Each structure stands twice: as C-alpha cells, then as structure tokens.
Amino acid sequence: MKLKTMLAVASLAVATVVASGCQNTVVYTQAWYDVYGNHCGDGAPSAGCNFYADGVKVIASEDPYYYQSALYYGDYFYTDSYGFGQEYVGYAWLSPTGVLYNEWGNALNEDADKDSRDVISDVAKQEKAVVTKVGKDFAAKYALSEETGVQIAKTLNDWATLSKRLKRARTDQDVADFSKRLYGVGVDKAQGALDSAKKGDFSGIESVNKEVATYWGTSPETSKAILKSWYKNELNELGVK
C-alpha cells in the first residue's frame, strides 16, 4: 500500500463530506434532481440527473470521483439537461458517473458556454466556507482543536483538488509534502512503517501514530481511531487492530 493511495482514501473521506454540503452523510447518499426539479436518483450524480434540491447543478469538485479526475482534449458529444444532443470541443473530464465536466469544472448538461455557478470566485468562497465547516465538525467529533480540524480538512481538500488546480498529475514530491502537512511525519518513515507492517512488525506503525497524535495535539488513541476510520480496509489487510 502506497502513501499516495492512503492520501487519496483520506482525501475522499473528507472531500465527499465537503461535496455533500456539510451534511452528516456523504455524497453517495445524495438525492439528485433533474432540471425540472423532479427527483431522479440517489447516490452519485449522473448525466441529466445532477441537480441539488435547490436547483444548483453539481460541479466537478463535488463529484465523488473528483480525486481521480484528469482533463483530456477532445470532441465530446453529450445529452444536455433537456434531452438534446450537444457537442463540446476542448478540455474536459468524463467522470465514471457519466457526467462530462469542462475545464472550469462545470457539468456540461446545458449549453456548453453556460457556467454551473454564476461566478467562479463565488464557488471558491463557498468551497472555503464548506471546508471550514467540515473541519470544525471533524474537530468536534474527535475532540480536536478547531484549528487542527480545519487544517486537516483543508489539507485533504487541497490534495483532492491538486491535479485540477495545477493541471498536472500528482508527483512523489507532492506525496511527501502532503504527508508532512497532514500527518507531521516524513513520507520515508511512514512508508517504512507500512512496509514493516506487511512483514508483521507493527512497531513502526505505533511509532508513527504517536507522532501523528502529537502533531494533531491529541492522544494516540484518538489519532488511531481517526486513521482507522479513514483506512479501515487497508489497515485490516495489514492486520492492524
């Protein structure tokens, strides 16, 4: 198991909460509506069924697969929200949900030249507010300081959106930087602990967990509970209890 994979899992855990608008449930349980306001599905959004109850349309950063998004230039054909065929030429990301997003993150289920949100800066402000709310809720849940909770949420959201913002793939240096920002632990030490755990030696994992706890200003028991909630399947495979 690589640190990049673990960061992706952790970022998805927080990013899906951000995408759900600070609700207690993640985006996979989101109710979706069509352009006419009719309830058309639950779970992940789909082409034409990607509006929230208030009539606002999903954007790329709110898609459950955004953490693996990548833009490709091409000639795309899609069906708009009203059932008409449309063509879009340019950079876009086709999500596994079937929703096509342009390079600005707008879902192309209406005319390609219309924004999903009125102003891009408004979206950025909204995202910041939501990340802050999620961070505070996260802090309250685990009895962390608000500053720590917000920093964790911001770091994970930054990781989830890195490729989109920089328009390039994540690098090993990115992994190292974000590992240090998130856990307060160097990537080499963290990866070494994971490799040792695969061989049955969990002392490194315990040592890293204590460093994470110190960095977050909490107890090893709390940091372990958080990490287990993010990486339950991965750590179970390693035999970590």
Letter for the amino acid at 183?
A: Y
For 155, other C-beta atoms within 10 Å of its C-beta total 23
Task: Give the pLDDT score at 221.
Answer: 95
- pTM here is 0.56
- Which parts of the chain are beta strand (E)? 31-33, 39-42, 72-79, 85-94, 100-102
Asked whether 58 and 67 are in contact (CB, 8 A), the reply is no
3-state secondary structure (DSSP) of residue 138: helix
Block means of pLDDT (10 residues each) for the chain, 241 residues, are 56 46 42 79 85 81 86 84 79 89 82 41 63 86 94 84 70 88 89 86 91 96 90 75 69
Return the structure tokens found at 66. Answer: 């955004």
